[in-house]
Structures are given as structure tokens and as C-alpha cells.
């Protein structure tokens, strides 16, 4: 059971939902079996057309339903406004948290009073999904596992933030709200903790098309955040790249399209082309070895070309994101 008096809750757990009836019940059930009981559960329904709101009412202490769809940022604002506790925990509607997650969040923030927020990562996932679902979970788990104990972003699947540090945060952005919020806190000097113990299971399933579409969109908005937050000044801090992207990943994403361009230019020497491919291979090798260890040789052999192609897709998203941001700024100046 959650706390009897919402005003006395230690945590406010918020779930934003839009047409997530396929995963929402499992998400809310996982929250309700937590070993920490002093919380309120709030669901913000962004005008779902499926049964999401009905499912939410079975589990939540409070359900706020929008009459028309307002988007992630508006739902996030509504969630923060409804939260009564001093610590707000965000859980995505397609995520299953472990029973110990809420207690560890409370313990971590109690033990680290200087940390204004805390975020976690995806688990390796199950072996029952298709290749692209398994690959995505493994890729995210590996990438996040290399992050330091302090980061400059929040990961929407699971993060906690002290309500007091949200003062003066601009939440008018429309995309990547978690990463942007983290960047705003980081810019204001609010320390954000990262805990590898906070692993959650992602229920989202990926086809080949949705996999590449997702990575293109993430890269597109990542580049916009990079420019808007002067990400070049953050490169190398604490051994990282920018936000959740590590240095090795950035090198691989840069060298993949560079290798393709060099190999198709007739005046470029073979040694330069091969050298660039080798740089990509060296940068990607730790990830590929991780995939080999986790899923075996067959998975690994398919993952090599998929990883290269995925890095090309990411590079395309970043390039278009840069160009669209530059053009938008020029038009505003004019």
C-alpha cells in the first residue's frame, strides 16, 4: 500500500501515459509490489484513446486525464505539479522497475544530500524478444554501464529528482524532455547521480524499421541539445562524451560514414580507407565483444553489420539535426 496521507509521502511516483495499455498494467503492478511503501502513485493520461486511463484507475492514487493530447512536456509539467512529495520519481509506462528500486532511490538521495537527481539504466533484457529488441536493450545496457557516477542528463525510463531543484527550470521543450531537463540541472550546477544498481526492464518491442527510426530521432534531437547546451565544452569531462553518448560511441558514429565516403572516392588510397574502417572497428570492438559474450556467435555475426549501419543512421540524424538547428537560428536572426 502507498502512504495514507499524500502530504506525508516520502516519494511521488509519476507515470506519463499515452495509449500504453499493452504495457501499463505490468508497469503499475511492478510499482505496487515495491518493498518501499511510503509513496503516492500518480498517472498522467495524455488523452489516450485506448484503455490506459481505466487501467491507471485500478492502481494509481491519482489519475489526471487531459481532454486533448498535449505532449510529453505538458504531461511532465502536470506530473511535477501534482506531486506532493519532496522527491519525484519518473517511471516510463513501458518499464518494469525491480521491487527494490524505490527504496534504493530514497536511500541514495538520503545518503547523498548534495545530489539533486538520480538516474538509472536498462537491464540486458530477456532473450525471448526479436533480434532488434534484444540488441537495443543490450546496446543501452552496455553504453550506460560505462558512465561515471555523476552525469549530465536524466534517463526517462527511471529517474528521481528533488522537487526543490526544479525551480526556474524551463520545460517548454517538446522533445527529449528528460535529457534536456538533466542538462538544465547540470548547467545550474545541480549534481546528478547515476546508479548502476537501478536497472529496469524495457517492455518496448522493436522491428528493424522502428529500431532505425528510433535511433535516427534520438540522434537528431541529441545534436540539437548538443548545440543548444554547448556540448563541445562537455566533451571529455569525467571521461564521457556528451549526455549519455560516450567517447568511443562518438568516434564510431563519426568514422562509419567517413569510411563509406573514403571508400567510394577513387583518388583516396586503399590504406586510408582500410585505416578508417579499422578505427571504427576498434571503437566498436568492446560493444561487439559484449554482444558476443551475452548472445553468442550467431548474434554477434549479425550484430556487426547492423552496428555499422546503425552508426550510419545515427550520423545522418546528427547531421540533419545540426543543419536544421543552424538554419533555424539563421532564420530567427534574419
- Contact present, 11 and 103 (Cβ < 8 Å): no
> Reduced to 3 states, what is the DSSP secondary structure of residue 88?
strand
When mean pLDDT is compared over 7-11, 29-33, 47-51, 256-260, the highest value belongs to 29-33
Q: What is the mean pLDDT of residues 159-174?
A: 77
CA atoms within 13 A on the CB side of 31: 30
Instruction: Find out whether 138 and 211 touch, Cβ atoms under 8 Å.
Output: no
State the average pLDDT for the chain.
89
Report pLDDT digits (tens) over 69-128: 888 878 888 888 999 999 999 999 999 999 999 999 999 999 999 999 999 999 998 887
**DSSP string covering 256-273, please?**
HHHHHHHHH-TTS-HHHH
Mean pLDDT on 168-190: 76
Taking residues 169-190, report their average pLDDT. Answer: 77
Determine the average pLDDT of the residues in 173-199: 85
Q: What are the pLDDT digits (tens) for 9-38?
A: 899 999 999 999 999 999 999 999 999 999
Q: What is the mean pLDDT of residues 235-243?
A: 70
DSSP H/E element including 196: strand 192-202
* Backbone dihedral angles phi then psi of residue 5, each to the nearest 5 degrees: -115, 110
Which letter does DSSP use for residue 33 in this model? T
Mean pLDDT of 122-135: 91
Residue 333 pLDDT more than 60?
no
Confidence label for 334 from pLDDT (cuts 50, 70 and 90)? very low
Q: Kindly report the pTM of this predicted structure.
A: 0.89
pLDDT average, residue stretch 41-67 = 94
Q: Cα-flanking dihedrals φ and ψ of residue 292, to 5°?
A: -60, -45
Q: Which alpha helices (H) appear in 151-200, and where do they start and end?
A: 177-187
DSSP state of 205: -
Bridge pairing between strands 62-65 and 95-96: unpaired
Task: Label residue 303 by pLDDT band (50, 70, 90).
Answer: very high
SS3 11: strand
In this predicted structure, the answer to whether residue 235 has a pLDDT above a threshold of 80 is no
- Using CA of residue 315, residue 317, residue 323, residue 329, what is the dihedral sign? negative
- Hey, which of 121-130, 196-205, 325-334 has the most confident mean pLDDT? 196-205
Q: Are 276 and 259 in contact (CB under 8 A)?
A: yes
Q: What homologous superfamily is domain 6-206 in, according to CATH?
A: Spore Coat Polysaccharide Biosynthesis Protein SpsA; Chain A (3.90.550.10)
* Residue 168, pLDDT score: 67
Report the relative pairing of strands 150-151 and 192-202 from DSSP bridges.
Answer: antiparallel
Percent of the chain as helix, strand, coil, to the nearest 5: 55, 15, 30
Q: Report the DSSP pairing between strands 87-91 and 117-122.
A: unpaired
Name the band, by pLDDT with cuts 50, 70 and 90, for residue 306.
very high
pLDDT of residue 73: 79
Helix (H, G, I), strand (E, B) or coil at 21: helix
Query: Could you tell me how many helices (H) and strands (E) the chain has, helices first?
Result: 10, 9
d(CA 158, CA 108): 14
> Could you tell me the residue ranges of all domains in the chain?
6-206, 239-333
Q: Which of 9-13, 129-133, 268-272 has the weakest average pLDDT? A: 268-272
Amino acid at each position: 500500500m502507498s502512504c495514507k496521507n499524500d502530504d506525508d509521502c516520502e516519494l511521488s511516483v509519476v507515470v506519463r501515459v499515452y495509449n500504453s495499455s499493452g504495457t501499463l498494467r505490468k508497469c503499475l503492478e511492478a510499482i505496487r509490489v515495491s518493498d518501499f511503501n511510503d509513496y503516492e502513485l500518480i498517472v498522467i493520461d495524455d488523452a489516450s484513446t485506448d484503455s490506459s486511463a481505466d487501467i491507471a484507475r485500478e492502481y494509481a492514487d491519482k489519475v489526471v486525464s487531459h481532454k486533448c493530447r498535449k505532449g510529453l512536456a505538458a504531461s511532465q509539467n502536470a506530473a511535477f505539479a501534482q506531486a506532493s512529495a519532496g522527491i519525484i520519481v519518473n517511471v516510463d509506462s513501458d518499464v518494469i522497475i525491480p521491487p527494490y528500486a524505490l527504496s534504493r532511490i530514497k536511500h541514495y538521495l538520503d545518503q547523498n544530500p548534495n545530489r539533486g537527481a538520480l538516474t538509472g539504466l536498462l537491464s540486458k533484457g530477456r532473450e525471448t524478444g526479436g533480434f532488434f529488441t534484444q540488441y537495443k536493450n543490450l546496446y543501452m545496457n552496455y553504453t550506460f554501464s560505462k558512465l561515471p557516477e555523476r552525469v549530465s542528463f536524466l534517463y526517462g525510463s527511471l529517474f528521481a529528482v528533488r522537487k526543490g531543484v526544479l525551480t526556474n527550470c524551463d520545460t517548454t521543450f517538446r522533445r527529449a524532455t528528460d535529457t534536456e531537463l538533466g542538462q538544465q540541472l547540470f548547467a545550474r550546477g545541480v549534481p546528478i547521480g547515476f546508479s548502476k544498481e537501478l536497472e529496469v526492464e524495457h517492455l518496448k518491442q522493436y522491428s528493424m524499421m522502428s529500431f532505425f527510426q528510433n535511433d535516427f530521432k534520438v540522434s537528431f534531437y541529441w545534436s540539437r541539445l548538443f548545440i543548444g547546451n554547448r556540448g563541445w565544452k562537455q566533451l571529455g569531462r569525467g571521461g564521457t562524451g556528451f549526455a549519455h553518448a560516450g567517447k568511443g560511441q562518438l568516434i564510431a558514429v563519426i568514422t562509419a560514414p567517413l569510411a563509406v565516403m573514403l571508400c567510394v572516392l577513387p583518388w583516396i588510397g586503399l590504406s586510408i580507407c582500410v585505416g578508417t574502417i579499422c578505427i571504427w572497428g576498434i571503437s566498436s570492438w568492446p560493444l561487439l565483444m559484449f554482444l558476443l559474450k551475452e548472445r553468442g556467435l550467431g548474434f554477434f555475426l549479425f550484430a556487426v553489420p547492423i552496428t555499422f549501419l546503425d552508426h550510419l543512421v545515427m550520423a545522418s540524424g546528427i547531421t540533419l539535426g545540426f543543419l536544421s538547428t543552424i538554419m533555424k537560428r539563421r532564420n530567427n536572426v534574419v
